[in-house]
Chain A
């Protein structure tokens, strides 16, 4: 099983801020990483796959980078609708696993 460390677990930010979320793997996974956004009471929504490919319909202020063991999700200019919890998921190794989540809250 691949262990994932997502940080920070809580991020306080203001509208307009640039925010970054980190996801670190216990072993290399090439670029087999996805990012999801989850709002309270809702299902997760796919934002990014293959570490840096934006899912159709996702705003361009979201971007992903990294390969191997270290990955980053960046929101370039935080909007009010972006306050949510974000999860990384690796799909390189079976079973697929998720990071612990990063809650982005209003500062």
Chain B
């Protein structure tokens, strides 16, 4: 069964770039035509879809974040990554990585999540 694990700094200063990596285990990130997504959740609030990447490198970003988001993939390491630039306190959230199914692109397996706090 596929497992996902987020990693990265838990504290980022305002105006800097948030960088997270998701390591996939239990299967190759390149197999099965899956997409790989990032979703976030501010404390006590709902879920916001950030974007996704296919192993070819093709990406889709939420228009509300598109100008600040970059998602990349490293198939040799079975990892994909998120970069969010020019962060503010509003970007403080638990960030989840997830696998999205082909065609429907529903996120069916999620990482445990990692809290990123934006503060000086």
Interface residues of A (CB under 8 A from B): 32, 34, 42-46, 49-50, 55, 87, 89, 91, 94-101
Q: B96 at interface (Cβ–Cβ under 8 A)?
A: yes
Contact of A43 among B46, B63, B104, B110 (CB under 8 A): B110
Residue with the greatest number of chain B CB neighbours at <10 A, chosen from A45, A46, A94, A96: A96
| 22 chain-A/chain-B pairs, Cβ below 8 angstroms | A42-B112, A42-B113, A43-B98, A43-B110, A43-B111, A44-B47, A44-B107, A45-B110, A46-B107, A49-B104, A49-B106, A49-B108, A55-B108, A87-B47, A89-B106, A91-B104, A91-B105, A95-B63, A95-B64, A97-B49, A98-B49, A99-B46
B62 touches A91 (CB 8 A): no
B49 touches A96 (CB 8 A): yes
Q: B60 at interface (Cβ–Cβ under 8 A)?
A: yes
Min CB distance B66 to A, Å, is 10
A94 touches B60 (CB 8 A): yes
Total B residues in contact with A, Cβ cutoff 8 Å: 19
Contacts A44-B110, A49-B104: A87 and B63 contacting too (C-beta < 8 A)? no
Assembly CA distance A17 to B88 (angstroms):
43
Secondary structure call for the B interface:
loop
Contact of A46 among B63, B106, B111 (CB under 8 A): B106
Residues of B52-98 whose CB lies within 8 A of A? 60, 62-64, 96, 98
Residues of B within 8 A of A46 (CB): 106-108
Residues of B within 8 A of A50 (CB): 104
Residues of A within 8 A of B47 (CB): 44, 87, 89, 98
Assembly CA distance A89 to B104 (angstroms):
12
Assembly CA distance A20 to B43 (angstroms):
25
Per-residue 0/1 for B26-47: is the Cβ within 8 Å of any A Cβ (1 yes, 0 no)? Answer: 0000000000000000000011
Residues of B within 8 A of A34 (CB): 106
